[in-house]
Amino acid sequence: MSFPESFVARELDPADKEPMAASSPLTDARRALQAFLDEPLPARTGWPHALDSVCLALLLLQFATGIVLSLYYTPSPASAWESVRYVDSQVVLGRWLRALHHGSVSGLVVAVALHLTQVFLWAGFKGPRRFTWWIGATLLLVVLGFGFTGYLLPWDLRAYFGTNVGLHIAADAPLVGPLLARLMQGGESIGKLTLPRFYAVHVVLLPLAAAALITLHLALVRRYGVSPPGVAEGDPIRPGEPFYPRQAVRDAVAVLAAVSIVSLLAWLPGAPLEMRADPANTEYVPHPDWYFLGLQHLLRLFSGRRQVLATVVLPGLAVGLLYLVPVLERSPERRPSRRKFAIASGLAFLLLALGLTLAGWRALERERAARAAIAPSPGRATPEPEPPAVAGAHAARGKELYEALRCALCHEAPEAGTGVNLPPALRFAGSKFRREWLVDYLRAPSAIRWYREGVRPVQRMPDFHLSAEEAGALADHLGTLTDDKLLRPTAVRWSEPPPGAEEHGRQLYQQYACYGCHAVGADGKQIGPDLTRVGGKLQEDFMLHFVRHPQRIVPDTPMKDNDLWDEEAEAIVRHLRVLR
């Protein structure tokens, strides 16, 4: 692979054509660009030196994706989560955009760590280059700051609890800790005053700092040059080719590779969005992003009074060491073979960080398994006003709400209830839904349909933030909407299953391969509605009618009429009704 060296350089060199006296802002700019491209590089500059361009490119990618995300995002607990979900589900390529923004932080942490390692190996921090190193180390901290402040913004469970731990760590710092944590948190709890603070730091303060530091870093690199591998002190640094074009191509290819990897990772799992933040949740296992798992694990290792070691001393020591590298190693020697102690220390540091991260990850998996094993606590009760005890008591108020919230806009549209992925028709809601489920669902639609991690949103129903009474009233109103012709009440006594009926139903469920379209827990496909808790959602009589003749109720449903016998349908419903 060879390039016509400095071909363009000669042709464009303004000094050839214009005398210095003819200097104008335009020619000055061209000359500056030319000088930038013609930067002389030492011999043996190669692929590893493309890492700095990868860091820069990923940071610019953050800026670009972040600016577009900010066009949709609202930094308020009332709508942050919804706005993020809107990006994921409604914005064209929004899921990809957000995943890129989320994924390139991880990419950035890896790229910056590799870049630091490379510079450390080749001792690119000696002499005047120590300033470049210090600016670079500060940029690493800025990147971690981006990660920490960005973590809260989606306002889901991981955001809330992860940030909560972060603030507690900050509060553990001696003297200034509690004040600092309170300053970051704003209000008395993580909420309306916290989100704008994190948002402002994330989108104003840190980008300004990053831009200034990058400019300084690049200026210093230009001033003192890059360091080629393994040059002994005193050796003359042999000049190599200019930056343009060969190194420029290397940099461009490396950047393409990095952005491709991040895109691929972004596209496959996507950026996570869990259930909406809920400080009362006791099922969730809080955790930070992967690059903070090591720090999190330190907290497990140091108990009681030694806690401050994990929160402040050791992380402070690590950062301090990073800055002290140019001070601690002052010999001008730059060949790795002569810097065995330095290299070994660096390697030990890296292995320690990796080991802690791995241990943190395994501990997280263990805790997740343990939490999943605990059954929900018995006797749950809430002091919030109970929904009206008598079903139907507040139907009139519910009708008002139904109109005020304009439910008809979706649920009474001509296509409502006619096919897959359309808003359900509510004209027979009273014959279809169980009242308790309706109340829960109306109070937090997204929570009900989001109980499984990793499943995409399957509903577009907005969260109207109804109070318990309002949801109860609305459910009462819906309860009056029955259709006894289409959904004739049956005489089946559901609460008295004949022996073995549920088991028979379970076998029929398998026999008719219902799992081919429906999921129950982790079993089955997600093509049709998830049936994991269907028994708590639908009335038995409705299920019976639906299982027998689905298309009579939802004309365009892909679920086919299996011509079930009455006994079979009844047994299947007996199986389904106990899934709660």
Partner 1 sequence: MATETQAPNAGRRRLLTILLAGVNALTLGLAGAPIVGALVSPILRTRKPQWIRTCERGALAAGAPMKLVVQVPVTDGYAGGTRRVTLWLTIAAQGAVVAMSSECTHMGCNVAWEGERGRFRCPCHGGEYDGQGQVLAGPPLRPLDRLAVEERDGAVWVQV
Residues lying near partner 1 in the complex (CB under 8 A): 161, 164-165, 167-169, 179, 182-183, 186-189, 191-193, 278-287, 296, 299-300, 302-305, 307, 363, 367-368, 370-371, 374-375, 377-384
User: 473-505 burial, b if ≥16 CB within 10 A, otherwise e?
Assistant: bbbbbbbebbeeeebeeeebeeeebeeebbebb
**Cα–Cα–Cα angle for 471, 574, 480, rounded to 5 degrees:** 30
Q: How far is the CB of 140 from partner 1 (least distance, A)?
A: 24
Pairing of the two strands 40-42 and 239-242: antiparallel
Q: What is the CA radius of gyration of the chain?
A: 31
Q: Which is nearer to partner 1, 169 or 259 (CB)?
A: 169
Q: Which is nearer to partner 1, 35 or 179 (CB)?
A: 179
User: What is the residue type of 428?
Assistant: F
User: What's the burial of 302, exposed, middle or buried (CB within 10 Å: 0-12/13-18/19+)?
Assistant: middle
Q: How far is the CB of 152 from partner 1 (least distance, A)?
A: 14
Distance (Å, rounded) from C-alpha 115 to C-alpha 325? 15
User: What is the residue type of 463?
Assistant: D
Distance (Å, rounded) from C-alpha 163 to C-alpha 166? 5
Q: Given CA atoms 503, 507, 513, 519 in this order, what sign does their dihedral have?
A: positive
Closest CA to 58 of 265, 244, 237, 216: 265
| CB of 318 closer than 8 Å to CB of 116 | no
Q: Which is nearer to partner 1, 183 or 232 (CB)?
A: 183
Q: How far is the CB of 281 from partner 1 (least distance, A)?
A: 7
Q: Which is nearer to partner 1, 301 or 579 (CB)?
A: 301
Q: How far is the CB of 440 from partner 1 (least distance, A)?
A: 13
Q: Which is nearer to partner 1, 189 or 551 (CB)?
A: 189
Q: Which is nearer to partner 1, 214 or 313 (CB)?
A: 313
Q: Which is nearer to partner 1, 117 or 281 (CB)?
A: 281
Q: Which is nearer to partner 1, 78 or 256 (CB)?
A: 78
Q: Which is nearer to partner 1, 186 or 529 (CB)?
A: 186
Q: Which is nearer to partner 1, 92 or 175 (CB)?
A: 175
Q: How far is the CB of 467 from partner 1 (least distance, A)?
A: 10
Dump the DSSP string for 382-441: --SPPPPSSTTTTHHHHHHHHHHTTTHHHHTSTTTTSSTTSPPP-TTHHHHB-HHHHHHH
What angle do the packed helices 468-479 and 395-404 form, to 10 degrees? 100
Q: How far is the CB of 383 from partner 1 (least distance, A)?
A: 5
| CB of 577 closer than 8 Å to CB of 494 | yes
Q: How far is the CB of 354 from partner 1 (least distance, A)?
A: 20
Q: How far is the CB of 177 from partner 1 (least distance, A)?
A: 13
Q: Which is nearer to partner 1, 279 or 355 (CB)?
A: 279
Q: Which is nearer to partner 1, 78 or 219 (CB)?
A: 78
Q: How far is the CB of 455 from partner 1 (least distance, A)?
A: 22
Q: How far is the CB of 306 from partner 1 (least distance, A)?
A: 9
What angle do the packed helices 314-328 and 293-301 form, to 10 degrees? 120
User: Three-class SS of residue 41?
Assistant: strand
Q: How far is the CB of 561 from partner 1 (least distance, A)?
A: 43
Distance (Å, rounded) from C-alpha 276 to C-alpha 290? 21
Q: How far is the CB of 380 from partner 1 (least distance, A)?
A: 6
| Residue showing tokens 């806690």 | 307
Cβ within 8 Å of residue 284, ≥6 positions away: 157, 158, 161, 274, 275, 371
| Both structure tokens of 464 | 């109207």
| CB of 157 closer than 8 Å to CB of 282 | no
At residue 275, φ and ψ (nearest 5 deg) are -60, 155
Q: Which is nearer to partner 1, 187 or 558 (CB)?
A: 187
What angle do the packed helices 51-70 and 206-224 form, to 10 degrees? 160
| Residue showing tokens 């709508």 | 79
* First-to-final CA distance of the chain: 65
Q: How far is the CB of 261 from partner 1 (least distance, A)?
A: 31
Q: Which is nearer to partner 1, 172 or 530 (CB)?
A: 172
Q: How far is the CB of 445 from partner 1 (least distance, A)?
A: 17
